[in-house]
Structure 1
Amino acid sequence: MDSQRMRRELESRLRGENRKLIYDREKDQLRIESERTGKGITVSLTGIIAKWNSEKEKAIDEVVYYVEEGLRAMENPVQLTDHEKKIFPVIRSTSFPAEAEEGAPFLTDEHTAETRVFYAYDMGNTYRLIDARIMENEGWEPERIKEIALFNARSLPTPLKEDLVAGNIFYFLNTNDGYDASRILNKGFLNDMNKKIQGTMVVAVPHQDVLIIGDIRNDRGYDVLAQMAMSFFTSGRTPITALSFLYEDGELEPIFILGKNK
């Protein structure tokens, strides 16, 4: 699969009424724009091809779904008042854009050296990041949004799957509700997990739809976690960071793990 074939495939599936498709040859990016709103989504063909090599049609299906839902969300107004239960925090990489394409800054909070907290309005199958223009239109203060979002995050269920690898225990949270990584903001949940950890507690959020907690009891455990985090990071639809975090005294500290074993 090369860029031209991928471009043609995406254009055939995303072309529609009141849509404009723009290809940037230099950056190898395809932008899908709604003519109703003037807003759009830009996707990197290089990244999609890399995923297609391992996942085939699933990689394309995911991009099409992401674009369709994203454009639909842009065309629907955000109403915070009387919809407080739809407000949630989301975790993103610090390299994620700090403002919407129209120039309105997103509402954010510092988190770690690798991650930043954004705030979102849930729209069912997708969500829209809250920016300054939305807050102004709704007449809401930032602190009100943050407080409600964190309360809602604490209310999310935390079902875990457990796996024993090389004497270490790994817990996986993967509900695919769009807020799996957001559970890292639930201090009560993290503290409860810390109480049951017998070794060193290490946390990873490689992409938005997974949270990994490691009970690391030997050096091999760090290698395993590093490989897991990198694998999830490269396969996730919204990557965050391949680094992991030590959880000590209620604080998250990024660590770099140099893997030695395959």
Structure 2
Amino acid sequence: MKMTSLQMRDILQNRLQRAEWHTSFNREKDTLRVEHIETKKGITISLPGVIAKWQQKKDDAIDEVVYYVEEALRAMHMNSTEWKENKVFPVIRSTSFPLQNEKGVDFVVEEHTAETRIYYVLDLGKTYRLLDKDFLQEVGVEEKHVKEIAAFNVRSLPVKEKRDEVAGNIYYFFRANDGYDASRILDESLLESYRTKVEGDMVVAVPHQDVLIIADIRNDMGYDIIAQMTMQFFSNGLVPITSLSFLYEEKELEPIFVLGKNRPKKG
């Protein structure tokens, strides 16, 4: 069965009907806009992207989009009374991710690597809100303090690892499904603890928000495997970050490209 944009529009409009929300379809851009009637804050959904996921996951893909829109709109209308320091965390995003919200207000960010950037969020349970400078002013908190408490909070997250061995190389997968799996790349103590047990080259990857991979690359084939693995995760992730991996040396992350077979090249 082939799904058209108009059919997907109708399905989503039906699922996202709320008295306080308005939906509008942009035929030229093939997008569906969902926004709050009073504040005009909202979410723009790319219909071709949803259809592509629907072809793989069917109704689960639609459920994911509806959930994302509901929680994102809730986060947008959060007020300062929900501020709690123990709920502030860093998240990793691609460098192509916007630096400002829809109102043109700067997000709170910090540079990370050539491929990734750090943003900061307030956890709201089922979702989180990206922190911007206007909101920090509203709650009376300095940017430096937000970054300090976020770094502390990410180190307090539980670590759940799954180990796999392929062609003599060891791969560790971290998937706690708490929204901060990729954020664990910022926990230097975690990375250093694996550095002591890695026998070959230590390679780290954050292909999407919900996974961190640490690899012990002991032979040339290991580079091909991590490259294929990272690309697959990147393609299937709800919030993709980067399809590149990073060589971890002397507490530094260096993007690497795998050229053809086996041999990596630093970015």
| TM-score > 0.5 by shorter chain | yes
> Paired residues, what number?
260
| Shift in Å, 1:79 | 4.0
C-alpha spacing 1:80/1:116, structure 2 compared with 1 (3 Å): farther
- The match for 2:176 is 175
Q: In structure 1, what is the Cα distance between the partners aligned to 2:224 and 2:91? A: 27
Matched, 1:162 2:163: yes
| Shift in Å, 1:37 | 2.6
- The match for 2:128 is 127
Which residue of the other structure, out of 25, 28, 31, is the alignment partner of 2:27?
A: 25
Matches within 5 A, 1:44-193: 44-79=46-81, 83-193=84-194
C-alpha spacing 1:259/1:230, structure 2 compared with 1 (3 Å): farther
Q: In structure 2, what is the Cα distance between the partners aligned to 1:48 and 1:156? A: 31
Query: SS where residue 258 of structure 2 aligns?
Result: coil
Structure 2's unaligned 5+ residue stretches are: 263-267
- The match for 2:265 is none
| Shift in Å, 1:36 | 3.5
Contact 2:175 2:212 in 1 (8 A): yes
| Shift in Å, 1:258 | 3.4
Q: In structure 2, what is the Cα distance between the partners aligned to 1:91 and 1:119? A: 9
C-alpha spacing 1:24/1:159, structure 2 compared with 1 (3 Å): same
Contact 2:80 2:138 in 1 (8 A): no
Equivalent residue letter for 1:87: V
Equivalent residue letter for 2:115: E
What is the Cα-based RMSD across aligned positions, in Å?
1.4
Equivalent residue letter for 2:158: P
Equivalent residue letter for 2:192: N
Q: In structure 2, what is the Cα distance between the partners aligned to 1:91 and 1:33? A: 26
TM-score normalized with structure 1 length? 0.96
Q: In structure 2, what is the Cα distance between the partners aligned to 1:221 and 1:78? A: 48
Equivalent residue letter for 1:75: H
Q: In structure 2, what is the Cα distance between the partners aligned to 1:156 and 1:30? A: 36
Query: SS where residue 254 of structure 1 aligns?
Result: strand
- Dislocated runs of 4+, deviation >6 Å: none
- The match for 1:242 is 243
Q: In structure 2, what is the Cα distance between the partners aligned to 1:78 and 1:256? A: 43
Q: In structure 2, what is the Cα distance between the partners aligned to 1:158 and 1:61? A: 28
Q: In structure 2, what is the Cα distance between the partners aligned to 1:36 and 1:87? A: 28
Which residue of the other structure, out of 9, 12, 15, is the alignment partner of 2:11?
A: 9
Q: In structure 2, what is the Cα distance between the partners aligned to 1:186 and 1:218? A: 27
Equivalent residue letter for 1:50: A
Structure 1's unaligned 5+ residue stretches are: none
Contact 1:51 1:59 in 2 (8 A): yes
Contact 1:207 1:236 in 2 (8 A): yes
Residue by residue over 1:89-116, the C-alpha shift from the partner in whole angstroms, topping out at 9 and shown as x without a partner, is: 0100000010110111000000000000
